[in-house]
Amino acid sequence: MFKRLKPHRPLRQTLNNHSQTKQINTTTSQIQKSKWTNFRTIFTKWVPLGSVIYVGWCYIRASINYEVSQVEIKFYEMFPFRITSRLWGKIAATEIPVALRSFVYGTYVRMFNVDISEAAVTDLTYYKSLSAFFTRSLREGARVLAPASCVSPCDGVVLNCGPAKSDRIEQVKGVTYSLEEFLGENKWSQNKGKNYYDSLLKDKSNILHQCIIYLAPGDYHRFHSPCDWTSTFRRHFSGKLLSVNPWMANLIPGLFTMNERAVYVGDWEYGFFSMTAVGATNVGSIEIYKDPELKTNTKGNRKRVDEYDMGKVAFKKGELFGQFNMGSTIILLFEAPANFQLNLKAGDKVLMGQALTLMSKEKSR
């Protein structure tokens, strides 16, 4: 007749259990939130993702002639493209399963109009990674060296080409960059001049000429020596990794003085000669075959500058010089007589080995 009574649990203990459960739930929720809001995650997940989305949006707007404001340009320059580019470099170097290679590389070929018939190996399954595919070599005879003193060092599109008569040089028509900021202090020459421009010239009757060539993602990614010359000095600027496509070059003055670049200076038949490989967004690295000490897109202060006395390293016209792990830009700055005419204009498509001068083209016919 008497019901069995359950042991009595104090109210305080029950309340404590409820309080502890609520506390655990709150802590778990805070931990989950902190995973997506902490300082490290912002820079490793949200910022790179936002950078990619923003750059994509810029390309879309460019196609409809949208006018970009200076505020947007400054905001764009603040994006951590060095981080995203290092990440892309790791992805590009990852080995792809053989079964997926034809699909992955085939999609890239169609997207960027790659002429795979020019490659030394046309079998897409041969390339272990995207980096290996980007830096593929050409088959013998795919490019012919013109009988000119100076030829195109790479495949690409000309951004600017012609005489450079002052310390301010055009990167594209109407948009300039500083010669001294681009090359850095003149430590390789004892020449005296009233300004930086004159200090580069060995023969004061000569002038400087330049040729800027942009390598698109679908272009042949290796670059060659454009002439017979000797390099004596290399300067590596860490810099930023902004996009260097023609649209950006037209928007941002001094773009080439801001980006990471490896500057090689020396002499050729007319005097001063320089060849510069400029880094860009998603360029995993710049490799120079005769300079294994060069390490690009590394962690650290992006304003650092490394210098290297190369002694005398000779390059022959057409010799392999280096490679990009994605599209970028090659800039030639060299001394020559005032009547040395570069017969190219902005927008011209060039191939490695193509003559740069009008006189050489006429002689080769």
Chain Cα centroid distance, residue 334: 22
Cβ atoms within 10 Å of 136's Cβ, excluding its own: 21
Q: Nearest to residue 342, comparing CAs of 362, 329, 359?
A: 359
- Catalytic residue (choose from 51, 131, 155, 291): 155
Annotation says 219 is catalytic: no
Bridge pairing between strands 286-288 and 207-214: unpaired
Q: Is 302 exposed, middle or buried (0-12, 13-18, 19+ CB in 10 A)?
A: middle
Residue 115 known to be catalytic: no
- Rounded to whole angstroms, the Cα distance separating 331 from 281 reads 17
Burial of 28 (0-12, 13-18, 19+ CB in 10 A): exposed
Residue 134 CB coordination number (10 Å):
23
Q: What is the Cα–Cα distance from 48 to 51, expressed in whole angstroms?
A: 5
Q: Is 63 a catalytic residue?
A: no
Q: What is the greatest pairwise CA distance in the chain?
A: 123
Sheet of 207-214, strand order: 305-315, 229-237, 261-268, 271-278, 329-336, 207-214, 156-164, 349-350
Please classify residue 237 by burial: count the beta carbons closer than 10 Å to its beta carbon, then call 0-12 exposed, 13-18 middle and 19+ buried: buried
CA angle 132, 137, 142 (to 5 degrees): 150
Tell me how far apart the terminal alpha carbons of the chain are, to the nearest angstrom: 121
Side chain identity, residue 139: R
Contact 261, 237 (CB under 8 A): yes
Which of the following is catalytic: 152, 224, 231, 267? Answer: 224
- Catalytic residue ranges: 155, 224, 328
